[in-house]
Amino acid sequence: MIFDIITIFPHIIEEYITQGIVRIAQEKGAVEINIHDLRKWTDDAHKSVDDTPYGGGPGMVMKIEPIYKALEELKTPNSIVCITTPKGEQLKQSKVKEFSQVKDAHYIIICGRYEGVDQRVHENLVDFEFSIGEYILSGGELAALVLVDGITRLLPGVLGNEKSLESESFDNNEELDYPQYTKPEVFNKWKVPEVLLSGHHENIDEWRRKKKVN
């Protein structure tokens, strides 16, 4: 699977993808992640990626030309072009799972900034517009990373213990995972539930089933 992320803040992405599971996934060859500075596709001295909005109003809008050129260079027949926007489909685990199962997938993710991106990009150049929740962030980089991380950890061979994927929250009927505890048994008088210390697997399974929340 390949991700190409287009951003004006490459370092934000770089920092995250060189840590944890996402780093390991790249090392294992399960995923390739390329970061692109949108300014690479500008041709003026100031490397402008934004301009004032038609019709007036506050702030700046991301221009279509650099994004168009970037896609011209990066797109392949397998590409699914995604854009981050609070107005898009709210990302759910079911969608992340679906995306993780697309064969030879190539996701291009455009990270918005400023007041957003020229609407003609949304209407003509994009396959999937997504939001990570009902709040406004200053840019799409965190949303892009949410998509990359969510998909990457589901790819075969990425997690050391794939059993952890079996009972995760939002997986079956959107139910939430059971509570987890680790050592010590007692901390500040707060005890681990007795049943988890019993070694009785049937009782433990039963307790966990009950503790899952719909």
Cβ at position 113, least distance to ligand SAM in Å:
5
Query: Which CB sits closer to ligand SAM, 49 or 158?
Result: 49
Instruction: Determine the Cα–Cα distance for residues 74 and 130; give it in Å rounded to an integer.
Output: 20
Query: Which CB sits closer to ligand SAM, 109 or 158?
Result: 109
Cβ at position 26, least distance to ligand SAM in Å:
24
Buried b (16+ CB within 10 A) or exposed e, 82-102: bbbbbebeebeeebbeebbee
| Intra-chain end-to-end CA distance of the chain, in Å | 32
Name, in order, each residue with C-beta under 8 angstroms of 47's C-beta and a sequence gap of 6 or more. 39
Pairing, β 61-62 against β 50-51: antiparallel
Cβ at position 90, least distance to ligand SAM in Å:
8
Query: Which CB sits closer to ligand SAM, 28 or 87?
Result: 87
**Type of residue numbered 96:** V
Do 134 and 77 form a contact (C-beta atoms < 8 A)?
A: no
With CB atoms as reference, the residue minimizing the distance to ligand SAM is 112
Cβ at position 10, least distance to ligand SAM in Å:
15
Cβ at position 103, least distance to ligand SAM in Å:
26
Query: Which residues are at the interface with ligand SAM (CB under 6 A)?
Result: 84-87, 111-113, 115-117, 131-133, 135-140, 143
Query: Which CB sits closer to ligand SAM, 41 or 130?
Result: 130
Buried b (16+ CB within 10 A) or exposed e, 31-40: bebebbbbee
Query: Which CB sits closer to ligand SAM, 112 or 153?
Result: 112
